[in-house]
Chains A and B, each alone.
Chain A
C-alpha cells in the first residue's frame, strides 16, 4: 500500500479539527440549554413553594384582592391575593397594545406601501433608535412629563394605569412597527400588481389584499409588543404608583406584577412567605411569556405564504 493509499484511509489533522470544532459548538449549545433549564427550574420551584410549603390555595392566590403577605386574615391564612397585580398588568398591556396598534400599522403601511425610498430611509433608523432607548429613560420621561400632565387633567397623584399605559404605548410602538413592516414587505409584489391591475385603488389593495395576506405576521408583531409591555419593569414601576390595590380607576395608584417584584424583592427575606409569594408573581410572568411565545409559534405555523 503506498503512502497516498494509506493517507486516504487514516484520519488526518483536518478530521480532528472537525471533531474539535463540533465539540466546541456542542459545548456552547449545551450552555444555552443549561441556562434555559436552570432559569425555568429555579423560578418554577421557587414560585411553587408558596403553594406547597406555605400551603396557600392557588385559587385564592389568583382571585383574592388583598396583598399583605406579612399579615394573616381572620381565618389565620396569609393575605396573598395577587389579583390586583394581575389585573393591572393585563390592563396596561392590553390598553397599550390597543393604543399602539393603529399608530404602528399606520407607520408600517406608510413605510412599506406609500413611501418612495426617502420616507422609510428616514423612518427606519428612527424606529430602530426608539427600540434602543433604555426603559429607565422612558420611565424618567414618564415621571417628569406624563405623570404631572395626568395630575393636571384628572387630579390625584397622576400615578396609575393611565400613565403606565402611555409610557408603554411609546415603548412598544417601535417594536410593533418594525415587525409589521417586515410582514407587510414579505407579501409578494405580484399580490399588489394583480390587485392594482384589476382596477382596485391603493387603499382597497392595502385593506383587502395586503393586510389580509399579512395577518399572521401582524398578529405576531402585536403579540411581541404585548410581551414587551407585560414584562417591562422599571418604566412602569416609576409611573404606576406601586400600591398593591385593586385599581378603581385609570388614575389611581396601582401595581403590576413586575413593579411589585422590583419594589419588594429586596425588602423580603429569602425563604419566608412574603418572599415566596413574590416568586410566585415571577412565575406568573414567566408562564405568561412562555404562553405568548407558544402563541407566536402557533400563528407562525399556520400562516406561511
Chain B
C-alpha cells in the first residue's frame, strides 16, 4: 500500500475511534441525565431516605457530602499550602526534596479502598473516632493532599520570578514575599485546582464506606451545637454521603425504588460536579482578569 493510501486509511481509523468515544460520552451523560433528572424534585432533595419503603429522598446524604467536603478542605488546604509553598519556594535539589516528592506521589497512587481500610483501622478503631465525618474527612485528606500540593506548587511556580525579586529587593522577608505577593498572584490557579479537586472528593465513596460509615442518622437541622449528638454539624456522627448512598442502595439495600433513587442521585452527583467544573473555570478566569487588570 502506498504512503498516501495509508495516510487516508489511518486518518479514517482515527476519526472512527474519536467518533466511538464521543458517542460513548454522549450516551453515558444522556443516560444519567435523561434517566435521573425527571425524578429529581424538591421533595426528593429535601426528604429523608427510607430503608424499606419507596419514596425516600436524599436530604441528609446531600448535606453530608457537602459538609464532609468542607471539613476535608479545612483539614487538607493548610497542609497542602505549606507543602506546596515549601516545594515551590524553599526546596533545593537534594534528597529531602526527593523524599517529599516521592511521598506525594505514593499518596496520589494509593487505591482508594486501601486508604479507606487504613482510615477504618487507625481512625475508626485505634483512635476510637468511630464511623464519623471526622474519620471520613481525614481519609479524604489522603486523596486531596497530593492533588492540592501539586496544584499549589505549580501555580506558585508559574508566578514570574520578577515578582519575588521585587518583594525581596524592598527588604521584605522571603515568607512575606511569598504569602503577600506570590500567593495572591497564584490565586486563580490555586482556586481552580481546589474546586476541581473538590469535585473528585464529592464523588468519592470507596474510602468513605468504612470511615464515614454507611448510615445517615436523623439529625436536627436547627441544632447548632456541634457537640450535641443530634446536631447536623456534629463531626463525630456517622454520615452516609450521596456517593455511598448510590453504592449502598444498589448492593445491600431492600428499598423497592432503588433504581429510581440511584439514577436521580447519580444525576444530582453529576450536576454538582459539572457545576464545580464550570465554576472553577469561570472563577479562575474572572480572578485572573481582575488581578492582571485585563478587560
Contact = CB atoms under 8 A, between A and B. Distances in A.
Report if A and B touch in the complex (beta carbons < 8 A).
yes
A296 to B, nearest CB: 8
Nearest to B172: A14
A266 B210 contact: yes
Contacts of A128: 196, 277
Given A32-B100, A132-B203, A144-B259, A231 B247 contact: no
A14 B173 CA distance: 5
A165 interface: no
A299 interface: no
A194 interface: no
Contacts, number: 238
Contact of A15 (B14, B173, B259, B277): B173
B273 A133 contact: yes
A196 to B, nearest CB: 12
Given A25-B82, A33-B100, A136-B203, A230 B111 contact: yes
B109 interface: yes
Contacts of B43: none
Contacts of B259: 144
Contacts of A22: 90, 175
A56 B172 CA distance: 62
Contacts of A266: 209-210
B203 A133 contact: yes
Contacts of A130: 25, 28
Nearest to A17: B173
A202 B28 contact: no
B258 to A, nearest CB: 10
Given A15-B173, A286-B114, A203 B243 contact: no
Interface of A: 13-15, 17-18, 20-22, 24-29, 31-33, 35-36, 38-40, 42-43, 46, 102-103, 105-107, 109-110, 114, 123, 125-126, 128-130, 132-137, 139-141, 143-145, 170, 173, 177, 200-204, 206-207, 227, 230-234, 237-238, 258, 261-262, 265-266, 270, 279, 282, 285-286, 289-290, 292-293, 297
Given A17-B173, A22-B90, A133-B203, 5 more contacts: A106-B13, A200-B3, A201-B3, A266-B209, A285-B111
Interface of B: 3-4, 6-7, 10-11, 13-18, 20-22, 24-25, 28, 31-32, 78-83, 85-86, 90, 99-100, 103-107, 109-115, 117-118, 120-122, 125, 141-142, 145, 149, 171-176, 178-179, 196, 199-200, 202-206, 209-210, 243-244, 246-247, 250-251, 259, 262-263, 266, 269-270, 273-274, 276-277
